[in-house]
Structure 1
Amino acid sequence: MNKPLVVMLGGSGFVGRHLAPRLVAAGYRVRVPSRNRNMARDVGCVPGVELVNCNVHDPAELRRVLEGASVAINLVGILNESGHGGAGFNRAHVELTRNLIGACKEAGVGRLLQMSALNAGRGTSHYLRTRGEAEQLVRQSGLAYTIFQPSVIFGRGDGLFGRFALLLRFAPVLPLARASARFAPVYVGDVADAFLAAMSRKDTVGQVIELYGDEVLTLKQIVEYTARCMGLKRLIVPLPDALARIQALVFDFVPGKPFSSDNYRSLKLDSVGGVDGLHRLGIAKTPIDAVVPKLLGEAGRQTLLDRNRRVR
């Protein structure tokens, strides 16, 4: 008997790299479309994962790659865009979701698992606005959908502790915008387990599932924790909102956008959740202390090595 096929958009990203091997171990075939196969080597090396060339923004190519699949998973998301008006967010979140829904219907794929975010549709940021618009499209699609709303996600290669670790390596003083913003970080492995569990449970169809950890931390506490795990002494300076907005405007024009005006607007809402989706799915939460100190300890050792090389 042929194994059921799952097509995973964004499968070469942070969550996808953890979800793909879980899907294969559970008996699924996994197809990951990518415009750049070289950028998706990590997931493409997993036995049972088929990496295919595809422009997911082309409806015809998307329909072709979905042929024979029973489930589609959309993990695509961006935290910043190259411009400033929201067009990049709209393309990545709204237009792609609209195209995916149409392609699923044409290819006969009835099940859709959609990644979103806590606070989707709330606030003034383009990121949250377009996440909310994408959710509305999914709800109105007629497909058997499940929407996932995680808080910030941590794990090896994350954009949370890992990003601050890079900054703290070189910044003895770190001015921090929205330092009091609150988060309930959730482990990437738990997020992947939630997707896998929901695929086989009928009671998750038509549901929105919040994913968050047990520990609520402010942004300042997250940065301080990062520094401690790396063995670094750093001064974290919370910025008043007026200066935080100026900092965001400046970083809007920095290559790579380590911070942006849209990030600032997203941070005006706490990302802590209210209905425990992991508990509902029977998934035990992985504590921050079980993962991050080891990862950041490695980063701290690398910092010491780099410092010693400079001294020599």
Structure 2
Amino acid sequence: MNIKNICVLGGSGFVGSHVVHQLAEKGFNVRVLTRRRERAKHLIVLPTVDVVEANIFDPIELSQYFEGMDAVINLVGILHEETPGRNDKPSARRGSFHETHIELPRKVVHACAEKGVKRMLHMSALGADPVSRSAYQRSKGIGQVIVQESSVVNQENENWYLNGPKFVHGAGLATTIFRPSVIFGRGDSFLNLFAGLVKSFPVLPLANPDAKFQPVFVEDVAQAFVNSLNNSATFGQTYDLCGTKEYTLQQLVEFVAKTLGIQRKIIRLGEQFSYLQAWALELMPGKKLMTRDDYYAMQVENVCKSEALVSLGVKPTALEAVVPGYLADVTPRGRYMAFRNKAGR
């Protein structure tokens, strides 16, 4: 499969920005669909990237912008549902889990079928399960099934991709699904969250302290996407993406505190108090630190049993090799050094 033109949904986000940069470095022509073009200033300057403001939840617009594309990459996802404001336009709302993780993949599959797009890469999540108690994991799981069911139906013909897939009820795509554990990197919403909490509170009541994660570096995730594009061995496959080591949530928080050079008392909360903390934080206005849905999600170990990154030609990056370099920026000394570097001193 000779892929040249790629449409990326969610390309201006945390993972998407890294994917788009790597695609541009490889010489691919990339069309990024985004709700607000202003958010993608860092991508507009890339020579082979076209940033388009669009409502990706509109099937007509999806079909319009999939015209002439060889592949589509869907990276769109939300961690928490947000109720849209009374005056929000449909194109500006964040939407629900159902709209974002279920209906959008369904619309993408149909638009690909309509425009003859042969290749689709889809971002799911480790722990995604159609019957999960967590609404996030459940919606991710259903969306994953929708993409899996659209996969190639005539793989017995090794040259099927040269002649074009047979779209049967929206099926026939050469799909690849990625299920990463929590993703770390400069600007992440996971370790940076704990860095803020460690700096702000002398004592940290920690819910689900024994929840297990295997964090994966954002650049490694992006490389996995790019490496799989023209690799026929990845067609119809699902890959769990994890880093080099498992951690409990408490170990991660302790690592963040140590990296920042701050001593903090961590109070381990049992099951009942973990749930109550999640419920209380869910009721607070503003950005959600935690919800009951997060509590349910953390009951499932977020770790991998396979070495998918290695099979995709990616050498996993250790968390300890990267995180200190960007968490240091949140300390006064780190900000001072960043200022000096920017000033060329």
Larger Rg: 2
CA distance in 2, matches of 1:103, 1:194: 24
**Equivalence for 2:305:** 274
**Equivalence for 1:139:** 148
Pairing partner for 1:117 from 100, 108, 125: 125
Pairing partner for 1:150 from 169, 176, 180: 180
| Aligned pairs (5 A) from 1:34-73 | 34-73=34-73
| Aligned pairs (5 A) from 1:8-23 | 8-23=8-23
Distance 1:209 1:304, change over 3 A: closer
Are 2:106 and 1:98 aligned?
A: yes
CA distance in 2, matches of 1:76, 1:119: 17
**Equivalence for 1:257:** 288
SS at structure 2 position matched to 1:252: helix
> 185-194 vs 119-128, which deviates more?
119-128
**Equivalence for 1:310:** none
SS at structure 2 position matched to 1:97: helix
Whether contact under 8 Å (2:220, 2:314) holds in the other structure is yes
Are 2:190 and 1:160 aligned?
A: yes
SS at structure 2 position matched to 1:146: strand
SS at structure 1 position matched to 2:117: coil
1:41: Cα distance to partner? 1.9
- How well do the aligned residues superpose, as a CA RMSD in angstroms? 1.6
**Equivalence for 2:137:** 128
1:285-307 CA deviation, whole Å, 9 max, x = no partner? Answer: 111111001111221236897xx
Are 2:35 and 1:4 aligned?
A: no
Are 2:306 and 1:298 aligned?
A: no
| Aligned residue identity for 2:300 | L
SS at structure 1 position matched to 2:33: strand
Distance 1:224 1:4, change over 3 A: same
1:131: Cα distance to partner? 0.7
Identity of aligned residues (%): 41
1:219-246 CA deviation, whole Å, 9 max, x = no partner? Answer: 0000110011111111111111111111
Gaps of 5+ in 1: 306-312
**Equivalence for 1:200:** 230
Whether contact under 8 Å (2:27, 2:48) holds in the other structure is no
Instruction: Please report the TM-score for the alignment, with normalisation by the length of structure 1.
Output: 0.93
CA distance in 2, matches of 1:175, 1:99: 42
CA distance in 2, matches of 1:58, 1:101: 13
Question: What is the aligned length?
Answer: 301
| Aligned residue identity for 1:150 | P
1:282: Cα distance to partner? 2.0
| Aligned residue identity for 1:205 | F
CA distance in 2, matches of 1:303, 1:270: 34
**Equivalence for 2:96:** 88
Distance 1:105 1:162, change over 3 A: same
Gaps of 5+ in 2: 84-94, 151-170, 337-345
Distance 1:304 1:137, change over 3 A: closer
1:3: Cα distance to partner? 7.9
1:39-86 CA deviation, whole Å, 9 max, x = no partner? Answer: 222223333211101100000001111111101000011111125xxx
**Equivalence for 2:88:** none
Whether contact under 8 Å (2:3, 2:230) holds in the other structure is no
| Aligned residue identity for 1:78 | I
